[in-house]
Amino acid sequence: MKLILAILSNDDSPAASNALNKNGFQVTKLATTGGFLRAGNTTLIVGCEDEKVQDAINIIGEYSSKRTEIVPSTASYDIGRYASFPVEVQVGGATIFVLNVEQFVKL
Ligand code: 2BA
C-alpha cells in the first residue's frame, strides 16, 4: 500500500478531489500553506494499493496541469496616471510524494 501526498492549488483541489472520489479513491484534504510564497494551497492525502498509484497521479494531473492565465498586474504609475496592465502568470501544477505504508489500520 502507498500513501500519496499531493500539494495543489486551492483552485484545482475540489475538482481533483471529486474526480478521485468518483474513481474509487478515498481522499483527505488538508488546508496547507506554501513555505516560500506563504500562500494557501491544498494537500490531498490518498491511501491506495500500489497498482492504483499511477491512476491517482493521472487523475490529479488531469485537474492540476500547469497553464497560463492572464491576470491584472499591480497598479503602477505610468503615462501620467496609475494603470494596471494584464500579465501572464503560470498557475496550477502539483507536487506529489508517494510513500510506502508500513501499516494501515481502521478501527
Ligand atoms: P512548486 O515547486 O510548484 O511548489 C508548490 C508548493 O508545493 C510549494 O509552495 C510547497 O507548498 C509545496 N512543495 C513543493 N516542493 C516541496 C518539497 N520538496 N517539500 C515540501 N513541499 C513542497 P511554496 O513553497 O509557496 O512555493 C511556491 C513556488 O515557489 C514553487 O512552486 C516554486 O516554483 C517556487 N519556489 C519555492 N521555493 C523556492 C525557493 N527556495 N527558491 C525559488 N523559488 C522557490
Task: Specify the pTM.
Answer: 0.85
Is the CB of 13 inside a 6 Å radius of any atom of ligand 1? no
Is the CB of 37 inside a 6 Å radius of any atom of ligand 1? yes
- Could you read off the pLDDT of 90-100 as tens digits, one per residue? 888 999 999 99
Given CATH 3.30.70.120, say whether it is the number of domain 2-100. yes
Whole-number pLDDT of residue 78: 64
Q: Which position has the higher pLDDT, 77 or 48?
A: 48
Atom of ligand 1 nearest to the CA of 39: 25
Atom of ligand 1 nearest to the CA of 93: 3
Whole-number pLDDT of residue 76: 66
Burial class (CB in 10 A: 0-12, 13-18, 19+), 12: buried
Whole-number pLDDT of residue 30: 98
Q: What separation in Å is there between the alpha carbon of 78 and the centre of ligand 1?
A: 33
The beta-carbon contacts of 32-37 under 8 Å, at least 24 apart in sequence, are: 32/7, 34/7
H/E stretch holding 18: helix 13-22
Is the CB of 17 inside a 6 Å radius of any atom of ligand 1? no
- Could you read off the pLDDT of 1-58 as tens digits, one per residue? 999 999 999 999 999 999 999 999 999 999 999 999 888 999 999 999 999 999 999 9
